[in-house]
């Protein structure tokens, strides 16, 4: 048996199902690797090795029991998994990367987490994130920055940077992330892994600690499109506890040895190939598009004319929603309480001390955009332009089945590289924000490396609830190329 942590999730499942490895062995292999590499990487905020080994042992016993009585084995029974620290896992603290929630222990599981636990996963711990998922580098975490496994002086991207680093460094077979403006896709790109941001409404948001409720989605960071599809399909589906959850049926798995993309039309939007983009990024993405042409796809030039407005729209809508969502942290029911003086003092001080700089900045910006006299000019106008951005996608998807573009203008940047310039950091998200505003799914995966050996990511965006088209395309690319197999030397 090869080193267990080198197996993909699908290969690990086969090993478990064939009795070549137990869940305890698999879990121990990952915990051992975490102990060795975590001091360099800091991918996790909270590790739960004892709980993981307990549930691995329980999974092995369950497997034996079910096999004896001839019953079906749950799809992921005994599979280790890392979970971003903005998702509720009952009994393990969920900090959201914030001092505000340093001691918050959720009494329930997020629906997505519950579904995976029902399928048998073994949680290893909670991964690092920018505070309340606000950021593009994990530098906004109150618990320290995560380092990019390809270059420890660089960021892993964000906000799901801990999950991306964990997936890339093989600290877990896969990790859950969340994507409000690119927070699965951009770190996937920076760390050279595959990340799916599902359609808005596809995966229940219940138990995802809210940031921007009309934009938030729960996704997966994995080593292959096939692995991401396995986890995605188990999380997806209707949940009455999320008013925006959709009952659109989830498609059957499409990744197989025979996945074909013949006849699919891929749109290339000119607005995503602009000046300022790192030349190697453009070159690698264009080369990947050429691979698709060879594989039988039809390549179509398209236009998404309102792309340039996505950034200002997002940085009004997301902070506005955040300012409302984060109003709940006032020191009363959970989280940090700084109590001196009366009620108002308690609110102001608890929030002033519990939140970090970026969270306060977005709360301030959102409060302003929603305040009397400015609502129509800022928030109202942003909502209207959001309609135009969505219409761009609707029009494009009458002509093509998927849209190919870079994930980010550059490869991973240096820790501290953007200093204290929020707008420079926001520009990192320029290519990922539109999918969230339109609610469409996106898949990011590696398509090359720059001269500094840093991964370059491409994203494919698809029609609402057609993740299967993205998995088909992603998997076909990975059958034909080897970029996703490259791993950082640690």
Partner 1 sequence: MTLTLKEVEHIALLARLELTDAEKRRYQQQLSHILEHVAQLQTLDTIQTEPAPDALPKGARLRADEPKPGLTAGQALENAPSAKKGQFRVPPVME
Site for partner 1 in 326-365 (CB under 8 A): 327, 330-337, 339, 341-349, 351-353, 355, 357, 360-361, 363-365
Rule CB under 8 A: is residue 72 a binding residue for partner 1?
no
Q: To 10 degrees, the CA torsion angle through 13, 18, 19, 24?
A: 0
Options 22-30, 54-62, 64-72, 367-375: segment touching partner 1 (CB under 8 A): 367-375
For partner 1, the binding residues in 374-393 under the rule CB under 8 A are 377-378, 380-388, 390
Minimum distance between the CB of residue 453 and partner 1, rounded to whole angstroms? 34
DSSP state of 92: S
Options 30-38, 119-127, 218-226, 437-445: segment touching partner 1 (CB under 8 A): 437-445
Minimum distance between the CB of residue 230 and partner 1, rounded to whole angstroms? 25
Residue 194: partners with Cβ closer than 8 Å, 6 or more residues away: 188, 221, 222, 223, 224, 225, 227, 228, 443, 444, 445, 446, 474, 478, 484
Among 316, 433, 456, 460, contact with partner 1 (rule: CB under 8 A): 316
CB 306, CB 396: distance < 8 Å: no
For partner 1, the binding residues in 90-129 under the rule CB under 8 A are 103-105, 107-108
DSSP state of 173: S
136 is catalytic: no
> Nearest Cα to 435, choosing from 271, 320, 269, 310?
310
Minimum distance between the CB of residue 343 and partner 1, rounded to whole angstroms? 5
Choose the catalytic residue: 55, 98, 163, 183. 183
| Alpha-carbon distance values, 133 to 92, 130, 140, 398 (Å) | 18, 5, 9, 33
Choose the catalytic residue: 23, 136, 159, 189. 159
Rule CB under 8 A: is residue 279 a binding residue for partner 1?
no
Q: Report how far apart the first and last C-alpha atoms of the chain are (Å, whole number).
A: 21
115 is catalytic: no
Minimum distance between the CB of residue 424 and partner 1, rounded to whole angstroms? 11
List the Cα angle 359/86/483 in 5-degree steps: 105
Among 189, 307, 325, 436, contact with partner 1 (rule: CB under 8 A): 436
Among 20, 54, 265, 312, contact with partner 1 (rule: CB under 8 A): 312
Rule CB under 8 A: is residue 232 a binding residue for partner 1?
no
Alpha-carbon gap, residue 325 to 363, rounded angstroms? 9
384 is catalytic: no
Element (H, E) at 62: helix 49-68
Element (H, E) at 448: strand 442-449
Residues acting as catalytic residues: 84, 159, 183
């Amino acid at each position: 048996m090869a080193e267990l942590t080198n197996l993909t999730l699908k290969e690990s499942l086969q090993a478990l199902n064939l009795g070549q490895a137990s869940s305890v062995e698999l879990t121990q292999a990952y915990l051992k690797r975490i102990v060795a590499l975590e001091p360099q990487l800091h991918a996790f905020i909270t590790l739960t090795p004892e709980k993981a080994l307990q549930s691995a042992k329980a999974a092995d016993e369950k497997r034996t029991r079910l096999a004896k009585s001839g019953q079906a084995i749950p799809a992921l029974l005994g599979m280790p998994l890392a979970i971003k620290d903005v998702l509720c896992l009952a009994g393990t603290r969920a900090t959201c990367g914030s001092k505000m929630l340093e001691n918050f222990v959720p009494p329930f599981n997020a629906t997505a987490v519950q579904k995976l636990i029902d399928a048998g996963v073994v949680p290893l711990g909670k991964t690092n994130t920018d505070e309340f998922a606000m950021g593009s580098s994990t530098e906004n975490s109150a618990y320290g920055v995560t380092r990019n496994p390809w270059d420890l002086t660089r960021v892993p991207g964000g906000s799901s940077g801990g999950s991306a680093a964990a997936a890339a460094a093989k600290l877990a077979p896969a990790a859950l992330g969340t994507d409000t403006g690119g927070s699965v896709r951009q770190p996937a790109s920076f760390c050279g892994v595959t990340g799916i941001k599902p359609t808005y409404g596809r995966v229940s948001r219940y138990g995802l600690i809210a940031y921007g409720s009309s934009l938030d989605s729960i996704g997966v960071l994995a080593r292959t499109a096939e692995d991401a599809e396995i986890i995605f399909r188990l999380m997806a589906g209707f949940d009455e506890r999320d008013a925006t959850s959709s009952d659109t049926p989830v498609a059957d798995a499409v990744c197989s040895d025979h996945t074909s993309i013949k006849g699919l039309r891929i749109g290339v939007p000119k607005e995503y190939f602009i000046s300022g983009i790192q030349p190697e990024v453009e070159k690698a993405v264009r080369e990947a598009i050429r691979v698709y042409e060879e594989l039988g796809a039809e390549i179509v030039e398209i236009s998404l004319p309102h792309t340039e407005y996505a950034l200002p729209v997002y940085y009004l809508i997301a902070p506005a929603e955040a300012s409302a969502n984060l109003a709940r942290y006032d020191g009363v029911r959970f989280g940090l309480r700084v109590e001196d003086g009366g009620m108002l003092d308690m609110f102001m001080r608890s929030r002033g001390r519990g939140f970090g700089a970026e969270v306060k900045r977005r709360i301030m910006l959102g409060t302003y955009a929603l305040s009397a006299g400015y609502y129509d000019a800022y928030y109202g106008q942003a909502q209207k332009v959001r309609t135009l951005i969505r219409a761009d996608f609707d029009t494009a998807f009458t002509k093509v089945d998927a849209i190919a573009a870079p994930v980010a203008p550059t490869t991973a940047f240096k820790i501290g590289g953007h200093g204290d310039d929020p707008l420079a950091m926001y520009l990192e998200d320029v290519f990922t924000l539109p999918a969230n505003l339109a609610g469409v799914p996106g898949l990011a995966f590696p398509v090359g490396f720059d001269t500094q050996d840093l991964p370059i990511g491409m994203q494919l965006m698809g029609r609402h609830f057609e993740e299967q088209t993205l998995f088909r395309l992603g998997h076909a690319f990975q059958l034909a190329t080897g970029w996703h197999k490259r791993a950082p030397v640690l």
